[in-house]
Amino acid sequence: MNPDKEATGTPTAAATGKPLYKRILVPTDGSDVSAVAEHAAIEFARAHGSEIVTLSVAQSYPAYAAAEASMAVDPNLDNDALRAWAERNVQRVSAAAAAAGVACTPLTVFSHSPSDAILDGARDHGCDLIFMGSHGRRGLSRLLAGSETQKVLAEAEVPVMVFRPRAGGG
Amino acid sequence: MDPPLYRPLFRRILVPTDGSAASERAILAGVAFARALGADIVGLTATPGFRVLSTDPEMIEDTADQYAAASRERGRRLLATIEQAAGEAGVACRLEQTVSNEPWEAIVETAKRLGCDLIVMASHGRRGLSGLLLGSETQKVLVHGTIPVLVHR
């Protein structure tokens, strides 16, 4: 049961002395592809002695400001639901990390722009690697469907590990 | 459920190069990553096919044979950078050179054919100054590929 004993055959942090990456940012939105990235990040962190910072962005839409109908909506109600959703996302990652013996810091933020929140999160928390899923519509070649992913890739100061949706559940 | 014996996430890493400064940096990063993980690497470069009419100064050679020889030689030079970096790091390395006008296609195809489980590449390559957020080859690899891509700036 001791993961250190089982981790033979690959140089681990213990074997090489220092982790390759100290702190991995793992943005999560609760999607399937996000789960792929979360799982890989936890495995990677466990094998290589990294810690995880997981971030879920409660995306507050600026639509309220413009929509006349917004008068009929209680923005606090909506924000509470968003916050709860983001909390659930990061708590799930934290629980999985804890089960693997990986240190994990959960963060939730409100932002209009998930990519900005991710870039800020990486910078503010000293992350040296980002693991994230990219939503994509298969066969649609014009653009990465995830424009947020594109923006993170273009502007991140650290390497970004991008996971794609699994093909056929494999 | 008991955790299985630790199975490395990444065992064979594809490192494509187009000779740009960005891809040279990605090569070094990819080799360092492979070394830390105990993975081996596949170095790849795709050279464009011969066209009679071309504005590419690499295609000034006047016959297809001469062009093919010159581009093989150019490809060898690019791959030598990877071979040297891998050699210095003690990382096992295999080199692949393909003729393709669509580098992203060569990258996705080679990854599949050789069982690579990760691609390490730069966010921008040679044609990186076109104002796009992300290099077009990188973007297409992300859209069409299914394995993870570690993108370096």
Query: Domain for residue B122, yes or no?
Result: yes
pLDDT of residue B66: 86
Query: Domain for residue B104, yes or no?
Result: yes
Overall number of domains in chain B: 1
Q: Which ranges of chain B does DSSP label H, i.e. alpha helix?
A: 21-37, 64-89, 103-113, 136-144
Tell me if A159 and B151 make a contact (CB, 8 A cut-off).
yes
Tell me if A136 and B143 make a contact (CB, 8 A cut-off).
yes
Q: Where does the pLDDT of residue B118 fall: very low under 50, low under 70, confident under 90, or very high at 90 and above?
A: very high
How confident is the model over A61-84, as a mean pLDDT? 65
What class does CATH assign to A16-163?
Answer: alpha beta
Lowest mean pLDDT among A28-42, A61-75, A87-101, A127-141: A61-75
Q: Taking all residues of chain B, what is their mean pLDDT, rounded to a whole number?
A: 87
How confident is the model over B1-8, as a mean pLDDT? 54
Q: Where does the pLDDT of residue B48 fall: very low under 50, low under 70, confident under 90, or very high at 90 and above?
A: confident
pLDDT exceeds 50 at position A150: yes
| This prediction's pTM | 0.84
Helix (H, G, I), strand (E, B) or coil at B9: coil
The DSSP result for B99-120, as a single string, is E-S-HHHHHHHHHHHTT--EEE
Taking the Cβ of residue A1 and every Cβ of chain B, the question of whether any pair is shorter than 8 Å is answered with: yes
How confident is the model over A112-131, as a mean pLDDT? 95
**Bridge partners of A20?**
none
Query: Domain for residue B107, yes or no?
Result: yes
pLDDT in tens, A75-102: 666 888 999 999 999 999 999 999 999 9
Residue listed under structure tokens 């096992």: B92
Tell me if B151 and A11 make a contact (CB, 8 A cut-off).
no
pLDDT exceeds 60 at position A139: no
CATH number, domain with residue B102: 3.40.50.620
Helix (H, G, I), strand (E, B) or coil at A38: helix
ipTM of the complex: 0.87
Q: Which residue, B123, B118, B125, B135, is CA-closest to B15?
A: B118
Range of the structural domain that residue B27 is part of = 12-152
Query: Domain for residue B33, yes or no?
Result: yes
